[in-house]
């Protein structure tokens, strides 16, 4: 994918109700340039299909965006995109969130392991409680910047288990994005962070990782969501945070399973209040 292809690709994904941050593709072109592929109609120059696979470490790849324009489906374009992507993924453990109808096709391609944790996408306007006096006294929320990014990176790694330092910085600095970190005033220890970005369907939190419900609410409140605006948060089924989503009065929009090929990847669930980009990581 080239920079010029981003808008057409977003239009294609929006027509399938797939959530994507408006500027995420540009981030990914910088992080894993060979991981976003498009099929182009050579006569018109139009994008007719797209697939992405993020090699998020040496052993794992997450396949996310996969769509072909309706009028071109069942002609082998999807398979051609898939096969080209496999050159990029190599023998890595593949993961993805399948649409139910596609499960047989993915099973045939080796994704036979089903995670016990479904991905749950919520949409709504989060209803926040008042922060306690202790929280206000002990916690400071700052913009993510060059001074605190290394601590954010460490915290991120402690939750998701991978080193994605370049991604974290680009993610926090995408245009039209708010990025905050909560720190202990006493120790300067990171207690959570969030990245709030503009998306193709609505704004999304990608991610919110935090030590507690209270820290999460504090981070969300810092983002100052306009009163009439709905946002998307995605979490993992069975996670204790599902109850919290109800408390925030977020509405369940979609549940998707997660399939893997070699090994089920699970992360530090209790601190995942909203997944990093639903398109690029399983957590």
Q: By CB under 6 A, is residue 108 in contact with ligand COA? A: yes
Position of tokens 């069942």? 74
- Cα separation of 143 and 1, whole Å? 31
81's enclosing H/E stretch is: helix 77-89
Angle at CA of residue 180, ends 233 and 209, nearest 5°: 45
SS3 for 40?
strand
Subset of residues 24 to 63 that bind ligand COA, contact rule: CB under 6 A: none
Which of 42, 87, 101, 227 binds ligand COA (CB under 6 A)? It is 101
> Measuring CA to CA, which residue among 52, 45, 61 is closest to residue 18?
52
Nearest CB to ligand COA, comparing residues 55 and 105: 105
**Closest distance of CB 260 from ligand COA, Å:** 14
Q: Which stretch binds ligand COA (CB under 6 A): 94-102, 125-133, 138-146, 192-200?
A: 94-102
Work out whether 100 is an interface residue with ligand COA (CB under 6 A).
Answer: no
- Rule CB under 6 A: is residue 73 a binding residue for ligand COA? yes
- Tell me the closest approach of the beta carbon of residue 235 to ligand COA, in angstroms: 19
Q: Which two tokens stand for residue 202?
A: 């609505």
Choice from 78, 192, 199, 282 touching ligand COA (CB under 6 A)? 78
**Rule CB under 6 A: is residue 102 a binding residue for ligand COA?**
yes
Beta bridge partners of 208: 194, 274
| Residue 86 engages ligand COA in binding (rule: CB under 6 A) | no
Number of residues that bind ligand COA (CB under 6 A): 17
Among 4, 71, 74, 186, binds ligand COA (CB under 6 A): 74
Structure tokens belonging to residue 79: 């398979």
Distance CA 209, CA 240 (A): 13
67 binds ligand COA (CB under 6 A): yes
Strands (E), the chain: 36-40, 47-54, 60-68, 93-96, 113-114, 119-124, 139-143, 177-184, 190-197, 203-210, 231-236, 251-256, 259-260, 272-274
Chosen residue from 29, 57, 77, 114 binding ligand COA by CB under 6 A: 77
Q: Which of 47, 68, 215, 248 binds ligand COA (CB under 6 A)?
A: 68
Is residue 71 a contact point for ligand COA (CB under 6 A)?
Answer: no
Site for ligand COA, rule CB under 6 A: 16, 66-68, 73-79, 98-99, 101-102, 105, 108
């Amino acid at each position: 994918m080239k920079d010029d292809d981003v808008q057409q690709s977003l239009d294609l994904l929006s027509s399938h109700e797939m959530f994507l941050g408006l500027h995420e593709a540009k981030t990914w072109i910088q992080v894993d340039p060979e991981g976003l592929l498009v099929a182009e109609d050579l006569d018109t120059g139009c994008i007719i299909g797209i697939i992405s696979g993020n090699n998020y470490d040496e052993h794992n790849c997450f396949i996310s965006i996969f769509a072909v324009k309706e009028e071109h489906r069942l002609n082998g374009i999807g398979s051609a995109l898939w096969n080209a992507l496999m050159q990029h993924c190599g023998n890595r453990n593949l993961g993805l969130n399948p649409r139910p109808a596609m499960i047989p096709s993915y099973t045939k391609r080796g994704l036979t392991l089903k995670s016990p944790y479904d991905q749950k996408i919520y949409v709504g306007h989060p209803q926040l409680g008042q922060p306690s006096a202790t929280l206000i006294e002990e916690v400071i929320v700052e913009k993510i910047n060059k001074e605190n990014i290394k601590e954010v990176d460490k915290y991120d790694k402690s939750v998701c288990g991978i080193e994605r330092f370049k991604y974290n910085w680009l993610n926090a600095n995408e245009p039209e994005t708010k990025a905050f970190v909560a720190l202990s005033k006493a120790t300067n220890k990171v207690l959570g962070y969030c990245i709030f970005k503009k998306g193709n369907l609505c704004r999304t939190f990608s991610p919110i990782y935090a030590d507690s419900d209270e820290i999460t609410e504090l981070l969300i409140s810092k983002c100052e969501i306009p009163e009439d605006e709905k946002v998307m948060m995605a979490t993992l089924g069975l996670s204790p945070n599902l109850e919290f989503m109800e408390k925030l009065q977020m509405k369940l929009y979609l549940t998707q399973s997660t399939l893997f090929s070699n090994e089920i990847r699970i992360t530090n669930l209790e601190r995942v209040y909203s997944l990093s980009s639903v398109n690029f990581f399983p957590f």
